[in-house]
């Protein structure tokens, strides 16, 4: 097969791209220690991927980030030596190791993620609303033109604000999933309906948030942050459909909640779950949530153990 050929690129266009690169790398501080931390931009990006993926392999990270294998190996070895990352054998391929951030790793990463959000907001803040929209539209155009078959974002998922009809979907999915997977009866669906109704009636936009996750245009997940008190935020109704699991989406939704709560000045985040929900409990534990209370009870047609978890922000 003959290799594709392209017409010559005008020198003026090359100069324009190089000039923008110099301007933007200086503007966002890439040439200095990234985000005022001890990390390089590449190291922070590797941390980000480890935090948002579901136990990737080093080969996957190297491929997706286009990193030299030796360079990536040195980064991962450093993270491991610091206690920020652990490896486990892959059940699918004994030659590969699955990589996972530890609680200490999430503790290191969380403020970097928030600082990155804050710096992006500071970059946009001096612009008027129309100018912000023009800039973000221009960025989308750049990405679309340079990557016409765009690589999937984290897990290929889009997180968005709720739209009409989404809340009834949240109730329906909780009812169906928990009945099918745990045998819980309609009392649980009624509880979720009450929580959703209260959120809609009493929603405080400045202090509360809901995210709906979409995969290929289909709803696959949700999570809520509600105001429990002026200093305490509550994470509620983290949900993933079966097709969305294994993509790191549960962690991504939880991270969004934590970042939102921190940005609003909450001092603590709490949540209530059940001991049988192992995947969710693992997500919370890896992000530094602590189990502070455990109570057996009978509900939803089952004998269960309810748990209260807390995270100091």
pLDDT computed for residue 32 by the predictor: 61
pLDDT, tens only, 146-191: 765 433 345 567 889 999 999 999 999 999 999 999 999 999 999 9
End-to-end CA distance of the chain: give it in Å, rounded.
57
Quickly count: other Cβ atoms within 10 Å of residue 247's Cβ.
22
Quickly count: other Cβ atoms within 10 Å of residue 154's Cβ.
16
> CA 165, CA 34: separation in Å to the nearest integer?
41
- Lookup: tokens for 211: 């995210």
pLDDT computed for residue 309 by the predictor: 97
The domains of the chain, with CATH numbers, are 11-151 (1.10.10.10), 157-312 (3.40.630.30)
pLDDT computed for residue 188 by the predictor: 95
E strand or H helix at 311: strand 302-312
pLDDT computed for residue 156 by the predictor: 65
Residues of the chain with pLDDT under 50: 1-3, 149-153
What phi and psi, each to the nearest 5 degrees, are found at residue 158? -110, 130
In Å, what is the CA distance from 80 to each residue of 99, 245, 313? Answer: 10, 26, 25
pLDDT computed for residue 150 by the predictor: 39
Backbone torsion region of residue 40, taken as left when φ is above 0, otherwise alpha when ψ lies between -120 and 50, otherwise beta: beta
In sequence order, what are the residues at sequence separation of 6 or more whose Cβ sits closer than 8 angstroms to the Cβ of residue 234?
Answer: 225, 226, 227, 228, 269, 270, 271
């Amino acid at each position: 097969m003959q290799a594709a050929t392209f017409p010559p690129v005008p020198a003026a266009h090359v100069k324009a791209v190089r000039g923008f690169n110099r301007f933007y790398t200086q503007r966002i501080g890439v040439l200095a220690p990234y985000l005022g931390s001890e990390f390089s931009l590449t190291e922070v990006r590797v941390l980000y991927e480890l935090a948002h993926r579901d136990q990737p392999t080093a080969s996957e990270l190297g491929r997706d980030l286009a990193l030299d294998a030796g360079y990536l190996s040195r980064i991962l070895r450093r993270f491991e030596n610091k206690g920020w990352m652990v490896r486990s054998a892959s059940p699918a391929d004994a030659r590969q190791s699955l990589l996972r951030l530890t609680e200490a790793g999430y503790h290191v990463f969380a403020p970097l993620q928030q600082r990155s959000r804050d710096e992006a907001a500071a970059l946009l803040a001096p612009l008027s609303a129309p100018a912000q929209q023009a800039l973000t539209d221009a960025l989308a155009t750049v990405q679309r033109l340079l990557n016409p078959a765009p690589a999937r974002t984290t897990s290929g998922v889009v997180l968005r604000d709720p739209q009409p009809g989404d809340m009834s979907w949240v109730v329906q999915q909780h009812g169906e999933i928990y009945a099918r997977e745990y045998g819980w009866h309609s009392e649980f669906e009624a509880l979720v309906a009450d929580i959703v109704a209260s959120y809609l009636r009493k929603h405080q936009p400045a202090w509360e948030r809901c995210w709906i996750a979409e995969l290929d245009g289909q709803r696959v997940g949700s999570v809520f942050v509600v105001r429990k008190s002026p200093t305490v935020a509550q994470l509620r109704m983290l949900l993933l459909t079966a097709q969305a699991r294994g993509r790191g989406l549960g962690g991504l939704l939880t991270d969004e909640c934590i970042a939102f709560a921190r940005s609003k000045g909450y001092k603590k985040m709490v949540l209530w779950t059940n001991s049988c929900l192992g995947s969710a409990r693992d997500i919370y534990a890896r992000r530094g949530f602590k189990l502070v209370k455990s109570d057996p009870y009978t509900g939803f047609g089952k004998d269960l153990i309810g748990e209260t978890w807390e995270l100091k922000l």
